[in-house]
Amino acid sequence: MIYILLSICCSVVVSIMLKLARRYHIDVYQAITWNYSMAIFLSWIFLKPQLQNLKDAPFFSYSLLALLLPALFVILATSVRLSGIVRTDIAQRLSLLVPVIAAFFLFGEQITVIKLIGIILGFTAIICSIPWQNKNAVKRKNSNAWVYLLIVFAGMGLIDVLFKQIAAFTLLSYGTSLFIVFVLAFIFAFTGLIFQVLNKTMRFSWPHIFIGWVLGVANFGNILFYLKAHKALANQPSTVFSAMNIGVVVVGALIGMLIFKEKLSLLNKAGIVIAIIAIVIMAQS
């Protein structure tokens, strides 16, 4: 569970940086693009990828994951604009349903009563943690808004499933797989950046490179420890999926309350308590 805890901490750091980015008018897309260049560097230095025998590598999974990682940041921003923060937040958190179902039906994990109780409590905690009465929610009507919510739900869930598949691929080290994913993600994101700059829909800014590198350190740690958790708990994917998502909700809520002075309702506080109980149960399982 130590890998899950480290991944949660890195994930929350990424969320804090993205939250501050909006406050200081930082172009998130440029920061996300350059974050993958730092992730490539860290992967090369610390994970020592072996690139000699790649003929059996799952390049379809690599490419799909590399495309989804930067693309979903754009989709999330669009979803917030069209559907509001609350609805987007709900779609993102409930995407846990996708990898949990995959754990039992795709990865063949055995269902036990303790795991089922932990998962049910986890979903209850997530629902309780949602800011249903958020006054900052964007109230706009758009006929296509539901499409972006659906993409957020399915996309976030699919990313979790793809990471599990990569962690389960034993012909290559996870360091090699991670390096390839980061290289492809940077190529896709950089191509989009160049396209927007040439079309004059984005103004290139040098400081975003440094900001992206700082973000890349946290993002690298998040994904690295997440893969390590799947390696360590190879037969317990639902535990990794659930504990990771629930943990991010708990730590994120506490950071929001303590640092950003966000107010939590009684329901939100109950959700934190239920989430902690759920994590303990799944850890015991």
- Local confidence pLDDT in tens for the 285 residues of the chain: 789 889 988 988 887 887 787 778 888 899 999 999 999 999 999 989 988 878 888 899 999 999 999 898 788 778 777 776 667 767 777 788 888 888 888 888 887 888 888 888 888 887 887 665 554 444 455 567 778 888 988 998 999 899 888 888 888 888 899 999 999 999 999 999 999 999 988 888 889 999 999 999 999 999 899 888 888 887 888 888 888 877 887 787 778 777 777 777 888 788 888 888 887 787 666
Question: Tokens 């191509």 map to which residue?
Answer: 191
Angle at CA of residue 26, ends 24 and 31, nearest 5°: 140
C-alpha span between 255 and 104 (Å, rounded):
32
How high is the pLDDT of residue 132? 59
How high is the pLDDT of residue 85? 62
| Contact of 30 with 212, CB cutoff 8 Å | yes
> Which residues are CB-neighbours of 54 under 8 A, at least 6 positions away?
172, 180
C-alpha span between 240 and 229 (Å, rounded):
7
C-alpha span between 179 and 176 (Å, rounded):
5
> Which residues are CB-neighbours of 253 under 8 A, at least 6 positions away?
129, 264, 268, 271, 272
C-alpha span between 137 and 217 (Å, rounded):
31
Query: In this structure, how many other beta carbons lie within 10 angstroms of the beta carbon of residue 20?
Result: 12
| Contact of 212 with 32, CB cutoff 8 Å | yes
Sequence letter at residue 96: L
Which residues span the domain enclosing 187? 2-284
Number of domains composing the chain: 1
- The sign of the CA dihedral 191, 193, 198, 199 is positive
What is the pTM assigned to this prediction?
Answer: 0.81
